[in-house]
């Protein structure tokens, strides 16, 4: 009996952390499992953190402040994505991101996840004061384009990258 209890306790301690309930990406039919402990980023923090130009994401789930260092962001753009030619879009996205300082590929391609095709770009870039890991997924959502981005600082990469990548694989 003691061995059984020890075995069960060991399994519980070694098991990956549970995922929170599914959340629906605002304005879409897509949902995702957000890692436990992530919360919606307050609007004022979102505006400040994503103020470098362009439209900010519609919603960001993050580890709580003060630095909000681990994020999953959702953006819906009013541009139709050509479903039959994702490879050309992928190449265009690759060309735009690989000019970023400190850029280094981890993985790139097109994957079918949750019943839809996603352009997948995983890469490192230099942030303002630290390298940042980015996991970007892009897919058609009706006549719009959905971008889902997960990112984490280098110092938190080992702890959070598996959770972020699992969340991205949970897209439906």
Tens digit of each residue's pLDDT (9 = 90 or more) over 21-68 = 799 998 999 999 999 999 999 999 999 888 777 789 999 999 998 889
Q: Give strand pairing partners of 23.
A: 32
pLDDT value at position 89? 94
> What is the number of structural domains in the chain?
1
Q: How confident is the model at residue 138 (pLDDT cuts 50, 70, 90)?
A: very high
* Residue among 120, 109, 35 nearest 71 (CA): 35
pLDDT value at position 20? 61
pLDDT tens digits along 70-116: 999 999 999 999 878 899 999 999 999 988 889 999 999 999 999 99
pLDDT value at position 7? 40
pLDDT value at position 101? 87
CATH number of the domain bearing residue 132: 3.40.1000.10
Predicted TM-score (pTM) of the model is 0.85
Residue 14 has pLDDT above 80, yes or no: no
Task: Show the domain range for 25.
Answer: 2-169
Q: How confident is the model at residue 10 (pLDDT cuts 50, 70, 90)?
A: very low
pLDDT value at position 25? 92
In angstroms, rounded to a whole number, what is the distance separating the alpha carbons of residues 11 and 5? 10
pLDDT value at position 128? 84
């Amino acid at each position: 009996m003691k061995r059984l209890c020890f075995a069960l306790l060991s399994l519980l301690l070694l098991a990956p952390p549970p995922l929170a309930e599914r959340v629906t990406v605002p304005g879409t039919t897509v949902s995702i499992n957000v890692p436990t402990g992530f919360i919606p980023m307050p609007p004022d923090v979102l505006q400040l953190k994503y103020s470098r130009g362009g439209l900010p994401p519609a919603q960001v789930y993050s580890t709580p402040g003060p630095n909000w260092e681990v994020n999953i962001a959702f953006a819906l753009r009013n541009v139709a994505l050509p479903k039959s030619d994702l490879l050309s879009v992928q190449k265009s996205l690759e060309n735009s991101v690989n000019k970023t300082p400190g850029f280094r590929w981890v993985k790139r391609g097109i994957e079918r996840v949750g019943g839809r095709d996603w352009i997948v770009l995983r890469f490192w870039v230099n942030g303002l004061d630290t390298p940042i890991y980015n996991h970007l997924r892009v897919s058609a959502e009706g006549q719009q384009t959905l971008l889902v981005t997960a990112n984490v600082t280098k110092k938190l990469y080992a702890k959070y990258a598996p959770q972020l990548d699992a969340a991205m694989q949970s897209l439906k």
